Structure 1
Amino acid sequence: MSYLSFLFANRRWLVAGMLLTFLSGFGQTYFISLSAADLRETFSLSHGEFGMLYMVATLCSAATLTWVGKSVDVFPLHFVSIAVMGVLGLLCVMMGLNQSVLLLVFIIFGLRLSGQGMMTHISLTGMGRWFSRERGRAVSVATTGFPIGESIFPLIFVAVAAGIGWRQAWFAGAILVFAALPLVSWLLSKPRQPHLGQVDEPEVAVRQWTRAEVMRDPLFYLISLGVVTPPFITTAVLFNHTYMVELRGWSLEVFAGAFSLMATVSVISMMTLGPIVDRYTARRVLPFMLIPLMMACTIAAFWHQVPAAFVFMAFVGASNGFTSTLMGSLWPELYGTAHLGAVRSLAGSLMVFASAAGPGLVGVLIDLGVAYDLQLVGMAIYCLVLSVVLRIVAAKILNRGE
């Protein structure tokens, strides 16, 4: 099937997946961080204090995702999407109205759980369950919602915040979520056929692992070391992007514009990697996952002029596209689709844990006076070491024939 034929034949489910990842932006770090300076000023918080608050809220959301995520194995996806999008919209309203630092912790917890956690989880679980031979393509299309949001939302937020205030920007987000809710629910109300066990299954049968079995697999944890690295580093850097902008002497408007380049490169990365994963399998592509992120950290550490912002964000976009497409295909390829919701929620919770630890750790290091360039060099070295580890892990996975 040609790419265009594939898109047309599966447009209903692909659009639903894309809308879910697009709207997950309201719970993603890149969007919440746009309010970071205003939130710190409103509640008199330092970089480290706000980073720790964000970390606690995100860690709690990660712990909650491990059991909330199983709901997609029990209830229809359109039912779960109604509940999650309703909660996400209400939390956007609460962020715009909030005057309490204690309530801020709860709001960020909810945004991270419903936005970054469940919206992404619903989309990728659907793609992993409904597609097999062309799973890489399906995931790459569905995850284009991430870069589209990353390119649009920062520019809109900056414009709305400059015109009528940052709180009103959150109200606008709530309106968008509520407006899209009926459409997403309708698109997901008809599960794609064929699915598990029918003609779209791969030629080689995959063992259907339970979550308990996955948790006893040592290779799962070695893979997870690599999987959690992009959210750890990317979230840490983007969450503290106002600090880097001030440190480099860049304008916030310039950096917001670099988000558009990041989004464009991310889409190109997704569209390129999807067919590659379908042809060579996710397990063979796994060792190369951290290379773009290593390049991004290296560039940010040693190049401080304005063009560096765009080159850095381009490599971050390549990393985001690589990671999103690979992770959407890897878990069903390794562990099957029968318990995909439970397995993905476990892996997703680890990624959310990492995205929580990153901003908190970097914020504390900033408060302690640790040079930011030194932190970036450390991140680049970490990516290089883990790339070697993932090469060894990929070989072991191939040897066990799964």
Structure 2
Amino acid sequence: MHLSDFLRSNAPFLTTGVMLTFLSSFGQTYFISLFAGEIRLEFGLSHGSWGGIYMIGTMASALTMVWAGVLTDVFRVRVLGPLVLAGLALACVAMAFNPWVWALPFVVFALRLFGQGMCSHVAVIAMARWFIATRGRALSIAALGFAVGEALMPMIIVAAMTMMAWQNLWLIAAGVSLLAIPVLARLLAQERTPASMANDDVSLGMLGRQWRRGEVLRHPQFWCMVPAVLGPSAFNTAFFFHQVHLAEVKEIEHLGFVALFPVYTVTGIAAMVLSGWALDRFGTARLTPYYQLPMVAAFLIFALTHSALGLAVGFIFLGLTSGANSTLPNAFWAEFYGTAHIGAIKATATAVMVLGSAIGPGLTGFLIDRGVGIETQFLSVAGYFVVTTGLMIWGIGRAARDLPRTPETAVIRTSSQ
């Protein structure tokens, strides 16, 4: 099927994925950090105090995702999606009106859970379940919402804060989340699903069976993937979290440093699209073991270069893995463990990812305070991704022998509920 035909015939479902990933922006680190100065000033917080509050809220949301993510195995998107968006809207309202510093961890928890956690999770599970033969293409298109948010939100928010109080921007975010609910209902008036409530119309995993979460947790392949899931979230987040400090170390104006972000965004979008196409053509077993190798090159360059050109090259390598990270790992869980219980399985992986986004900034900041330079840390991060690549090559190579010899094709049918 040509791309234009694919987009036209699946427009409502792909739009749902893009919309949910875009709205996850309101709970992403890059969005919340735009208000860091205003929040610290409002509540009289130091950098360390705000960082600690953010870490507590994020870690709590990661733990909650282990259970909340299972809801995607119970409810369809048109039922669960509006609930998630309503929760996100309430979290945004809470950030706008909250007067108590003790409540900040709860507000951060809600933003991270409903935004970064559940909006992303529902979108990914929907793509994995709605599409089988074209799963990679669908995941890469849905992930464009992440890229659009990263590209547009910082500029919009920074410009808007010169014209209105920062609290008003959170109210606007709440309004956007609420307005998306009827749009979602319209898009999914006839929800496409391979019988998400049934076990007989789903794609199978290793050994031709459906894996439950408890079985996955006891399988060695899962633990080979945990460092790979945690790493990009932890160190991508840490890289952007400490961007001001890094610009100072590199003796580059912060504005000049930020001007390189479009290089990262464009590369990430290209990598998303290409990895989705390659995934459908070659499968996750061939591609997933190697997709973090560009991170090795990126952090080596970030550690050693002191020029804007060198940093731009580093951003290209960083974008390659970041883009592929939006498609390959998500398809991996469905292909290797089946889709009957993919919500519970992916919820655990999402919890690891969210946990990484809490650990990364805290760990790197702690080491900076203890005199371990950011460039020295980046050398270690490059080594970390060498190890994760080795684990994936070994683990996936062994596990791939148990995959079904022919791809399972799920029955796609339209139903109303």
TM-score (normalizing by structure 1)? 0.93
Q: Structure 2: where are the runs of 5+ without partners?
A: 405-417
Structure 2 counterpart of 1:114: 114
Question: 4+ residue runs of structure 1 moved beyond 6 angstroms?
Answer: 196-200, 202-205
Aligned ranges for residues 37-48 of structure 1 at < 5 Å? 37-48=37-48
Kept in 1, the 8 Å contact 2:129–2:193? The answer is: no
SS in 1 for 2:326: helix
Q: Which residue of 2 aligns with 1:9?
A: 9
Residues 116-162 of structure 1, C-alpha deviations (whole Å, 9 max, x = no match): 10001100101111111110111011111110110000110111123
Contact in 1 for aligned 2:238/2:361 (Cα 8 Å): yes
Q: 1:172 aligns to what?
A: 172
Distance in 1, matches of 2:230 and 2:206, equals 28
Q: Who is 1:53 aligned against?
A: 53
SS in 2 for 1:245: helix
Q: Distance in 1 between matches of 2:338 and 2:204?
A: 11
- Alignment partner of 2:380 out of 356, 373, 378: 378
Give, in angstroms, the shift of residue 322 of structure 1: 0.7
Q: 1:325 and 1:179 mapped to 2: Cα distance?
A: 28
Q: Is the 8 A contact 2:128 2:339 kept in 1?
A: yes
Could you report, residue by residue, the CA deviation over 1:299-354 in whole angstroms, capped at 9, with x for unpaired residues? 22122333445433333322221111112211110110111111111111111111
AA aligned opposite 1:18: V
Aligned-partner Cα distance in 1 for 2:295–2:50:
25
Q: In the alignment, what sits opposite 2:73? A: 73
Decide whether aligned partners of structure 1 residues 356 and 322 sit closer, same or farther in structure 2, where only a CA change above 3 A counts: same
Alignment partner, residue 333 of structure 1: 335
1:314 corresponding residue in structure 2: 316
CA distance in 2, matches of 1:168, 1:85: 19
Residues 204, 377 of structure 1: alpha-carbon distance in 2 compared, 3 angstrom cutoff? closer
The equivalent of 1:27 in structure 2 is 27
SS in 1 for 2:327: helix
Output the CA distance in 2 between the equivalents of 1:202 and 1:104.
43
Note if contact 2:206-2:402 (Cα within 8 Å) is conserved in structure 1.
Answer: no
- When residues 207 and 49 of structure 1 are mapped into structure 2, their CA distance, relative to the original with a 3 A threshold, is same
- Between stretches 123-132 and 258-267, larger displacement belongs to 258-267
Q: Secondary structure at the match of 1:75?
A: coil
- Change in CA separation of 1:401 and 1:337 when aligned onto 2, cut-off 3 Å: closer
**198-207 vs 179-188, which moves further:** 198-207
Output the CA distance in 2 between the equivalents of 1:329 and 1:172: 34
CA deviation after TM superposition for structure 1 residue 380, in Å: 0.9
Alignment of 1:284 onto 2:286:
yes
The answer to whether the 8 A contact 1:69-1:118 is kept is yes
Higher mean displacement: 187-196 or 71-80: 187-196
- Tell me the residue number matched to 2:191: 191
**Partner AA of 2:291 in structure 1:** M
Aligned to 2:412: none
Conserved? CA contact 1:47–1:363, under 8 Å: no
1:163 match: secondary structure = coil
Structure 1 position 242, deviation (Å): 2.8
Amino acid at match of 1:43: F
**Residue 245 of structure 1 corresponds to which residue in structure 2?**
247
Letter in 1 for 2:136: G
For residues 171 and 245 of structure 1, do their structure 2 counterparts lie closer, same or farther at Cα, with a shift above 3 Å needed?
farther
Corresponding position of 1:93: 93
Partner of 1:265: 267
Deviating more after overlay: 252-261 vs 69-78: 252-261
> Aligned equivalents of 1:360 and 1:27: distance in 2?
18
Q: What is aligned with 1:157?
A: 157
- Cα distance change of structure 1 residues 133 and 206 upon mapping to structure 2, 3 Å threshold: farther
Tell me which residue corresponds to 1:364: 366
Q: CA contact under 8 A between 1:150 and 1:260: conserved in structure 2?
A: no
Amino acid at match of 1:49: S
**Residue equivalent to 1:36:** 36
- How big is the shift at 1:356? 1.1
Quick one: distance in 2 between partners of 1:204 and 1:380? Answer: 31
- Separation of aligned partners in 2, 1:203 and 1:397: 11
The separation in 2 between residues aligned to 1:242 and 1:212, in whole angstroms, is 42
Q: Paired residue for 2:354, among 352, 359, 372? A: 352
Aligned sequence identity (%): 37
Over the residues paired in the alignment, what is the CA RMSD in angstroms? 2.3
User: Do the aligned residues in 2 keep the contact of 1:51 with 1:364 (CA within 8 Å)?
Assistant: no
Q: Distance in 2 between matches of 1:10 and 1:166?
A: 38
Q: TM-score, normalised by structure 2?
A: 0.90
Per-residue deviation, 1:200? 9.2
Matched residues in 2 for 1:101 and 1:249: separation?
35
1:105 CA displacement: 0.9
Q: Which residue of 1 aligns with 2:233?
A: 231
**Contact 2:206–2:338 (Cα < 8 Å) also in 1:** no
* Residue number among 386, 393, 396 corresponding to 1:394 in the alignment: 396
2:413 alignment partner in structure 1: none
- Say if 1:30 and 1:280 are closer, same or farther in 2 by CA, change over 3 A: same
The code of the aligned residue for 2:135 comes to R
SS of structure 2 residue aligned to 1:192: strand
Task: Give 1:274 shift.
Answer: 0.7
> Is the CA contact (8 Å cut-off) linking 2:301 and 2:311 kept in structure 1?
no
